């Protein structure tokens, strides 16, 4: 009869749907952990950038707009700290000038001052080894507020300006 083929497809479709519903918790479980951060960082609160994020969480006025290193933006987002750039490469390349500006600073070793001035950050978080971060100290009141575990946070007496 004609009804057998549609009935079979309906049964197969329900089976696929039930399998998908059953597996959904397995897929979303990975969303509960911090993105783009190594497991040892997640499990060690003294490792980078965890300690820097804790400092920012305890200083919300400085955490309103963080000019950050690209590789930790996803972690800052997960921690609820507004980041300037994060690991969504495709998003930034297609929709924003931020990735281009960031790449220029990092790849060409040019001064990030114009990019920082345009971003109006309340703080800057970057690896201590970044060659450009030390060129910011003293400019427009930027100074080291926190320095530990390979990360440096700068704040400015004129933040946001």
Residue pLDDT, tens place only, 32-56: 555 545 444 555 554 568 889 999 9
Give the Cα separation of 73 and 70 in Å (integer).
6
* pLDDT band for position 103 (cuts 50, 70, 90): confident
Predicted pLDDT at 27: 41
Task: Please list the alpha-helical segments (H only) found in the chain.
Answer: 4-28, 39-43, 50-58, 73-78, 89-95, 98-108, 113-119
Predicted pLDDT at 1: 57
Predicted pLDDT at 90: 61
């Amino acid at each position: 009869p004609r009804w057998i083929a549609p009935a079979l497809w309906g049964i197969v479709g329900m089976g696929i749907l039930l399998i998908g519903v059953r597996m959904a918790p397995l897929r979303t479980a990975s969303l509960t952990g911090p993105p783009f951060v190594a497991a040892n960082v997640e499990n060690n609160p003294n490792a980078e950038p965890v300690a820097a994020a804790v400092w920012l969480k305890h200083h919300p006025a400085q955490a309103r707009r963080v000019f950050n290193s690209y590789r930790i933006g996803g972690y800052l987002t997960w921690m609820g700290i507004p980041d300037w750039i994060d690991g969504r490469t495709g998003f930034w390349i297609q929709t924003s000038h931020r990735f281009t500006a960031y790449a220029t600073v990092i790849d060409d070793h040019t001064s990030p001052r114009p990019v920082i001035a345009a971003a109006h950050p309340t703080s800057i978080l970057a690896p201590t080894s970044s060659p450009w971060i030390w060129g910011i100290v003293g400019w427009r009141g930027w100074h080291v507020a926190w320095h530990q575990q390979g990360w440096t946070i700068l704040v400015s007496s004129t933040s946001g300006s």
